[in-house]
Amino acid sequence: MAARDPGARRGKLELADIVRRHGESFRAAHGLCSIQHRALRAIERCRTAALGGELRACDACGHRRYVYHSCRNRHCPKCQARARERWLAAQQAELLPVPYYHLVFTLPHELNALAQGNPRAIYAMLFAATSATLVGFGRNRRWLGGEIAATLVLHTWGQTLTQHLHVHALVAAGALSASGQWLRSRRGFLFPVRALSKVFRGKFLDALGQALDVGDLVLAAGTAALAGARARKDLFAALRRHDWVVYAKRPFAGPEAVLAYLGRYTHRTAIGNERLVSLSANTVRFRYRDYARGERRRVMSLAAGEFLRRFCLHVLPRGFNRIRHYGLLANRNKRELLQRARAALHVPVATDTPAACEPVAAFWQRLASIDIEACPHCASGRLRVLATIAPQPHPPP
């Protein structure tokens, strides 16, 4: 259960408003899979009486307020703040006191149609090709010669909700050698970007070719022609003609900057409520950054059905993990390897502390300095639970 987001002003347009108004007609016109249906249903019911909640009353003035349960769906923009903070708290103990690099590995748009029919397979190939490239470069003595620490986060969208399949990689500036020494990155950069691009492209295309050869991918809609050898050969030739985009940013100064940066990427949804501008009879307007024109802020208008279609492109397959760790952070030997890395860096070994389940009120007080239990009417009383509300189809008056 969660209180109404203190950062959301009453009456401000939300994604849930668009789904409630246009979701039924959109579902009737499009063949959605079960996980897409479930995501839209969760978003439109989030923090409404449909999920149940509590009736709270002020102990000073008697003012009453309904507080409804959250859907906790990972595609709901209202349900990511607490999940993000819990995840960041768990990761804090795993950060090393070294600079970190941010790299982005992007798939060409020619693969979008294939990904729409095979999201789990294509996303898994993207993770595998990216991680194998980074780990391989880290183990190469020409660059580092040891085991790196990398966290990868999948994003499938661009600013206008079109498909833009890419992985953000956060990599520590160095590696742990087999002898237990910390090997720092050289020459002011981690790995050469052009070489990363070529290896990344080769590994992904090798995996894609094998999957097509054994028939592991569904070929429908705009990809049916790939069943033929000639069409497949032409696609691969086109994909090899140009370099794939691998982008590297300057390193971060330390763990605090890394955590702040991670918080902006790990639990982001395809579009947040703060970007929505207006909803008319059949048109949604939202803000976006035009990167082709110097990151100018612009407003795009889309038909409601097209807006929801684009949003559904980014609903992940059931159980698919969009945040993954590699090298020193891989689960199998993470504890031992991190202890060795810290010893090599001459920093104290972190002690395991059980993660406490922070109450909602304490969370908002810490994160935004907002007391959600204070009465919004008299500002002096406290809101106390008066009754528990069972899930119901319509909110109480």
Strand 163-172 to 283-290 pairing? unpaired
Q: Is the pLDDT of residue 9 over 50?
A: no
71 is a domain residue:
yes
Task: Rounding to the nearest 10 degrees, give the CA dihedral for residues 172, 176, 181, 183.
Answer: -50
Q: Are residues 24 and 144 in the same domain?
A: no
Query: Which residue reads 């986060």 in tokens?
Result: 153
Q: Are residues 55 and 126 in the same domain?
A: no
Q: Are residues 65 and 144 in the same domain?
A: no
CA 12 to chain centre: 24
185 is a domain residue:
yes
Q: Are residues 24 and 100 in the same domain?
A: no
Using pLDDT thresholds of 50, 70 and 90, give the confidence band for residue 356: low
What kind and span of H or E run contains 388?
strand 383-389
81 is a domain residue:
no
Q: Is the pLDDT of residue 8 over 70?
A: no
297 is a domain residue:
no
Phi, psi of 164 (to 5 degrees): -150, 85
Using pLDDT thresholds of 50, 70 and 90, give the confidence band for residue 11: low
Return the pLDDT at 250: 78
Q: Are residues 46 and 135 in the same domain?
A: no
Q: Is the pLDDT of residue 351 over 80?
A: no
| Those residues with Cβ within 8 angstroms of residue 26's Cβ, 6 or more apart along the chain or in another chain | 40, 304, 305, 308, 309
300 is a domain residue:
no
CA 277 to chain centre: 22
Decide: 93 and 341 in contact? Cβ < 8 Å: no
The C-alpha atoms of residue 214 and residue 206 are separated, in whole angstroms, by 13
Q: Are residues 149 and 244 in the same domain?
A: yes
Q: Are residues 38 and 131 in the same domain?
A: no
CA 180 to chain centre: 33
Using pLDDT thresholds of 50, 70 and 90, give the confidence band for residue 256: confident
CA distances from 49 to 64, 69, 71, 220, 391 (A): 15, 8, 11, 41, 6
Decide: 323 and 37 in contact? Cβ < 8 Å: no
> Is the sign of the CA dihedral 217, 236, 111, 225 positive or negative?
negative
Q: What is the per-residue pLDDT across 92-107, written as a single tens digit (0 to 9) for each?
A: 878 898 989 999 999 9
291 is a domain residue:
no
> Is the sign of the CA dihedral 42, 46, 52, 53 positive or negative?
positive
Q: Is the pLDDT of residue 28 over 70?
A: yes
Q: What is the per-residue pLDDT across 302-339, written as a single tens digit (0 to 9) for each?
A: 999 999 999 999 999 999 999 999 999 997 889 999 99
Overall domain count for the chain: 2
Q: Are residues 46 and 143 in the same domain?
A: no
352 is a domain residue:
no
| Residues pairing with 307 in the sheet | none
5 is a domain residue:
no
Q: What is the per-residue pLDDT across 175-201, written as a single tens digit (0 to 9) for each?
A: 999 999 999 997 678 999 999 999 999
Q: Are residues 30 and 132 in the same domain?
A: no
Q: Are residues 171 and 213 in the same domain?
A: yes
Q: Is the pLDDT of residue 352 over 80?
A: no
* Cα-Cα end-to-end distance for the chain: 20
DSSP string for residues in 120-170: HHHHHHHHHHHHHHHHHHHH-TTTT-SB-EEEEEEEEE-TTS-EEEEEEEE
Return the pLDDT at 2: 43
Could you say which DSSP state residue 2 is in?
-
The C-alpha atoms of residue 366 and residue 88 are separated, in whole angstroms, by 14
Q: Are residues 70 and 101 in the same domain?
A: no
Entry pTM: 0.90
The one-letter amino acid code at 202 reads G
Q: Are residues 140 and 67 in the same domain?
A: no
Domain that holds residue 43: 15-76+357-389
- Spatial CA neighbour of 151 closest among 255, 271, 291, 272: 255
Q: Is the pLDDT of residue 10 over 50?
A: no
